[in-house]
Amino acid sequence: MSSFIVNAIVIAVLVGALLPLVGSFALLRKSTFFGAGIAHTAFAGAAFGIAFGIEPLWTAMLFALVSAVGIWYFTLKGKLTHDASIGVFFSVSMAFGILFLSRTGNYAADAMTYLVGNVLAVTSQDIVVVAVTLVVIALAVVVFWKELFLATLSEELARASGLRVEVISFGVTIGMTVAVVVTLKAVGTLLLFGLLVMPAAAAYQLTRRLSSMILLACGFGVVSGLIGTLISIQVDLPTGPMIVITAFIIMLISGWIARHR
């Protein structure tokens, strides 16, 4: 088995675990649209890096973090609603992304990788970055489980318990942002949102316990990544769409099981 196929399978499994992990909190906190907004902002950053000869991962991370902090700040201060803040940064970032994309010239294909994703193009370095991110975020969830659980269950209850909900919200925002950026190359801007939401939605239909939901969501994500990648390799179809379609089928099956059990 060639090295690029092995890399594709490994990154698909890692991405399949990472995105549903943060997606579970996004779903319960009703902030799933945030993931889509940040993905498009990160794409603008990646296009900027490609256009000006800078490592796209770092420029994507910079653009995404600035936008995430901006969305968090405007929402916290009540200057805009959460959805409105995301919409503003979403539209502005895509405008910049198109402008930067027009300057990429012969590198347009590289920019398109960040738009539609390509697990077959990932490198060993990409795998290490995603793996480290997964470990760090998973450890953070374990260490701060009580705080995350209370803030996700009820912000009022968390405040009554003396927790700084704004700080927790900021941490969740940054964690989700980093997860989105490091998986952008593998899944792509257009398909990332599906893998962020659908495994978590599938798990939510089967259980209401947060811990069980997270484990199920990650399991569904891993299965989606693995099956979608293997099918795409066998029948020579784009990998990203196959992963998302697999996740959609799993969500439908979960819904059927939930209705008939």
Q: What is the pLDDT of residues 105-138, one digit of tens each?
A: 655 666 777 777 777 778 889 899 999 999 999 9
- Nearest-CA neighbor of 63 among 25, 92, 22, 85? 92
Contact 185, 12 (CB under 8 A): no
The helix/strand/coil state of 122 is: coil
User: pLDDT per residue over 9-44, tens digit each?
Assistant: 999 999 999 999 999 998 988 888 888 888 888 888
Question: How far apart are alpha carbons 70 and 82 in whole angstroms?
Answer: 11
> Does 208 have pLDDT greater than 90?
no
Question: 66: part of which helix (H) or strand (E)?
Answer: helix 56-76
Rounded to an integer, what distance in angstroms lies between the CA atom of residue 74 and that of residue 63? 17
Terminal Cα distance for the chain, rounded: 41
Q: What amino acid occupies position 232?
A: S
Is the distance from CB of 35 to CB of 172 less than 8 angstroms?
no
CA–CA separation, 78 and 192 (whole Å): 28
User: Hey, what amino acid is at 65?
Assistant: L
Q: What gap in Å lies between CA 25 and CA 29, rounded to an integer?
A: 6
> How many structural domains are present in the chain?
1
Instruction: Look at the chain and count its residues.
Output: 261
CATH label of the domain that carries residue 67? 1.10.3470.10
**Which pTM does this prediction carry?**
0.89
> Which residue range(s) make up the domain with 61?
3-260
